[in-house]
Each structure stands twice: as C-alpha cells, then as structure tokens.
Amino acid sequence: MRIRAWTTGDIGIGTRVFLRIDANVPIKKGVVEDGDRGRIAQTVPEIIRLCAHGARVILATHLGDPKGKVDEKLSIKPIAKALERRLKRKVVVLDGVIGKHVEKAILEMEPGEIVMLENLRFEKGEEENEVAFSKSLARLADVYINNAFGVCHRAHASVLGITEYLPSFAGGLLHKEIKELSTVPLHPFVLIMGGAKLSTKIPILEALGKKADKILLGGAISLPFLKALELPMPVKPHGLLLPADVAAAKTVIKKYRSKLFVPIDLVLDDSEEKVLDVGPDTIKLFASELKGAKEVLWNGPMGIIEFPGGRKATESIAKLLSKNKPRRAILGGGDSVDYLEKKNLLGGFTHVSTGGGAMLAFLAGEKLPGLEALK
C-alpha cells in the first residue's frame, strides 16, 4: 500500500503541524505505563524530526472512552509529562481541544515548540466524525500528519474528517507499520492467536490461515474451538460459550483443521468457573510446533494475564521466541505488549506493532479509513 509521506518541502519554519498520535496507554495513579517499545516511545522520533524542521507541533490523541464528555480522570496531562521526559523538552497542555482560546495559544507558539490538545474524545464530534468539529480541528494547523496506526481503522474526525481540509501525510511510524505488516511471510510461518472476542479475530484467521503453516490458539478464543471439535473442556466455562462463536470456529476448522492447534489442557481458578490459562502440556505442544519457525505473528495473550495464574503460557512463549529468534517475529495487541514489556520479554520480536484492532483489520485485508485518506 502506498500512502503519502511528508517531505522537507511540506514542513518549514513556523508550519503548524497537527500530529495525530496514539497515546492511549495504561495510566495508574497518574503515572503512564509505557516502556521503550510502547506507543509513546515510538512516536517520539517523529516529534523530534518535526521540531528540528522548525514546525510548531500540535499533538493530539484520545485516551479511554469518555463518551464525548470531560472526565478529569482521562485527562492527557500524564501523557504530556511522559512525553516531556522522553523528549527532554516542554509540552504545554492546552485547556481544551478546539475554540478561540486554543487557536490563540497555537498562534502564539514559537517554531520548534510543542503543545498538546486535551483528550480528543472529550468532544462528541470526534467519534461521530462531525464536519463542524473536523473543520475546527483543521483551523488549528497548516498540515496534518497521521502517525497513529492504532486508530486508522476508526472513521473519526482526527483520523478521517480533518484530512478533507488540510494537506495530509503519513508519519514515519505509520509508514513503518505498513511496511512491516505488508511483507510476504517467511516459511515456516506460525500464527499465534489468543485473547478474547473471537468475532474480531475471525477475519484475520480467515485471511492469514491460508498463508500460515501452523495456527496456535490460546486464550478465551480457543474455547469455542474446543467445543466445536467436541474436545474435553471444563463444564462451567463450557456453558458460557456463545453459539455464534462456536459456529464461527467450525467455519475456520473446516478450512484449516490440518494446521490448527488448540489447547490440550487448561488452568482453572479455584472455583473452576474461569479458565485462567492454557496448561503445561499445551505449552510443550506449542513450543514443539514453534521449532524452526522463520516467521511468527502473535496477537493476544494465552491467558488472563491480570491474574497470577494466567501468565505462565504467555511468558513461556515469549521466552521461547527470545531463545529461538525467528528471522521475523511480530507482536500486536496492547495487553500482550504492555505485559511482556514490563517483564522484559520483548527481545525475540523484530517488530512490536502499535496497533491492536487496526493491525487485525489491516492484516485481514480490510480498508482502513485513516489509510485510505492518505493514498
């Protein structure tokens, strides 16, 4: 896919640049939890590059889901502080997203300075892609740059609507994502899928299943497959399965049964009402199937990593990849990335994607509004 990248001819001294980033990261007790390969860290080079060209940089991101209302608990102030630490320069948080006071503050900026708009989703026009709101955002800048791959599957004002009113380009991180995710797979190619919400994973299983040599399934999405295959499964979780998920699993099984590997044992909580993880025999099975892989693409944890009893399989596979070091190994999905980075277990990955749903949609061959606008 070819998308427009900005060049030195597009950005000059004093150019007002609206830089859409994806800084929707975990914040606990007012402190951002985002490591050296996280979303904030990966957007820093673009900011530095723009400042070096003398641009006035206007940063914009969403955080959480405030549903179009101001919620101080979802203010981007902690994100601005995290950026300041990485940039080693001031990031001024503006009191709002649009309006005369915001426009005035931006006009008073000096070349090379950075400001940050408040949470875009404090305004209902963002998610509704309202024309008036899109125009208000566009009035703030001379140029628009999208560096937020993680939201490119959203037809929101700061992703799609604004591109109607400004010269619009892709940032370096966005280009990197497209390049990494567009490569022809190396074989043997192993697809690892975990997490929850099977409905969001079916398109990628359908699309990449034919390219993969093996498909390893863990997490909650593996349970409908166990049911569809009529394999032994704990009684209580068995009753929680959605008929639509089981039907979808049967469709995938029909196409890819010979290359599909599902859990052969599970770890339950004390009440036996919740599946926490895939079991030790499954870890051994998956480790065996990963031997010799030249490419691995992984989305979603193998267990519920919020619980101590749901972490072993996810950690074990990450350690195995660090040891085996496939020529290409891509990790996507916020939960997996955040957790494995905290555990210092990202060493085996050649690319850590900043996209969760966007990565799945792109790999499934869907048209992403944010990318279509930049063609």
Tell me: cis bond preceding 301? Omega within 30 of 0 counts.
no
Per-residue pLDDT reduced to its tens digit, 233-289: 776 666 668 899 999 999 999 999 999 999 999 999 888 778 999 999 999 999 999
Per-residue pLDDT reduced to its tens digit, 197-215: 899 899 999 999 999 999 9
- Measured distance CA(300)–CA(335) in Å, rounded: 7
Per-residue pLDDT reduced to its tens digit, 35-60: 888 899 999 999 999 999 999 999 99
Q: How confident is the model at residue 129 (pLDDT cuts 50, 70, 90)?
A: very high
- pTM for the predicted model, two decimal places: 0.92
Among residues of the chain, what percentage have pLDDT more than 70?
98
What pLDDT does 277 receive? 96
357: its two tokens: 């749903």
What pLDDT does 313 receive? 98
Main-chain phi, psi angles of 168, to 5 degrees: -125, 140
- Measured distance CA(22)–CA(76) in Å, rounded: 11
Inter-residue contact 110 to 53 (CB < 8 Å) = no
**Residue 351, SS3?**
strand
Between these two residues, 88 and 357, which has the higher pLDDT value? 88
Question: In the predicted model, is pLDDT for residue 96 greater than 80?
Answer: yes
Inter-residue contact 336 to 121 (CB < 8 Å) = no
Question: In the predicted model, is pLDDT for residue 67 greater than 80?
Answer: yes
Q: Which of 92-101, 104-113, 315-324, 328-337 has the lowest mean pLDDT?
A: 328-337
Domains annotated for the chain, with CATH where assigned, are 16-176 (3.40.50.1260), 183-363 (3.40.50.1260)
The crossing angle, in degrees rounded to 10, of helices 312-324 and 280-290 is 20
Per-residue pLDDT reduced to its tens digit, 293-342: 999 999 999 999 999 999 999 999 999 999 999 999 999 977 788 889 98
Which residues, 6+ apart, have CB-to-CB distance to 41 below 8 Å?
Answer: 34, 35, 86
Per-residue pLDDT reduced to its tens digit, 166-185: 999 999 999 999 999 999 99
What pLDDT does 239 receive? 62
**What distances in angstroms separate CA 354 from CA 42, 310, 336, one per listed residue?**
8, 23, 11
- Measured distance CA(375)–CA(273) in Å, rounded: 49
What pLDDT does 237 receive? 65
What pLDDT does 346 receive? 95
What pLDDT does 240 receive? 65
Among residues of the chain, what percentage have pLDDT more than 90?
86
Inter-residue contact 368 to 153 (CB < 8 Å) = yes
